[in-house]
Amino acid sequence: MDLLHLILGGLSGVLVGFTLGLVGGGGSILAVPLMVYVVGVDNPHVAIGTSALAVAANAALNLVNHARRGNVRWNCAAVFAAAGVIGAYGGSSLGKAIDGQKLLLLFALLMLVVGVLMLRGRGDGGDADVRLDRRTAPRLAGFGGLAGALSGFFGIGGGFLIVPGLVAATRMPMLLAIGSSLVAVTAFGLTTALNYARSGLIDWTLAAVFVGGGLLGGLFGASLATRLSRSRGALNRVFAGLIFAVALYMLVRSARALMGG
């Protein structure tokens, strides 16, 4: 991969890291289309495996930023992540067995769903003193398993599913759900990446550049997440518009590739 494509990979990492730090989810779903259509990775499975590793690393870096601000509820996040890892392994195993272009087509359809979810307002109400108990544990495990399976199948962090899942299971405030979600995003991405690495489907140099860009973007994103939590609804609408545009582009490209094949 030449210097230009590595630079494009770094800039793509900045965007993904920024949005991961800012809203906890959504940025990771851009990683695969950025790898394929901006950086120029030819093999969709390599794009998925590489983006999964990069997203896991970026999420871990952003997790440190949020943890320093007290935005992580570790017990709840751990249960969610543990259940999700099982789902992520099964989902990623299934994803490797599906034709790459068909997988991108399904990915684009999922992005349309994500765009709708992002349009739903994220308030800051909830119980900041939430704890893991007999009521919340089964809910966390259920939502975690489902989010993990989808995350592994599509090679994404799954934060857009994890954040509302944490809120639904525990009623924790949105800012805490964003910080806590990064535990699961890290675990899901790492599980998927390891599964793809076993099949030689990761570009390690590109992943390193992507992570470097994500570190820079994540520093700004986590800082703004604390300051601009009240305006996140507006940010969601802007980001949803971006997701819709990328999804439609992917649908057209994937459909043409399938018809041409």
Q: Which residue stretches of the chain have pLDDT < 50?
A: 124
In this predicted structure, what is the pLDDT of residue 157?
A: 64
Give the separation between CA 113 and CA 119, rounded to whole angstroms: 10
Give CA angle at 189 (184, 191), nearest 5°: 95
Q: What is the pTM (predicted TM-score) of this model? A: 0.74
- Are the beta carbons of 101 and 59 closer than 8 angstroms? no
Structure token digits, residue 170? 């525990």
- Are the beta carbons of 101 and 257 closer than 8 angstroms? yes
In this predicted structure, what is the pLDDT of residue 44?
A: 87
For 158-190, what is each residue's pLDDT tens digit? 766 788 788 888 888 877 888 898 899 888 888
Domain that holds residue 28: 3-260
In this predicted structure, what is the pLDDT of residue 238?
A: 65
In this predicted structure, what is the pLDDT of residue 125?
A: 57
Element (DSSP H or E) covering residue 100: helix 100-119
DSSP state of 38: I
In this predicted structure, what is the pLDDT of residue 89?
A: 87
For 198-209, what is each residue's pLDDT tens digit? 999 999 999 999
What is the tally of structural domains in the chain?
Answer: 1
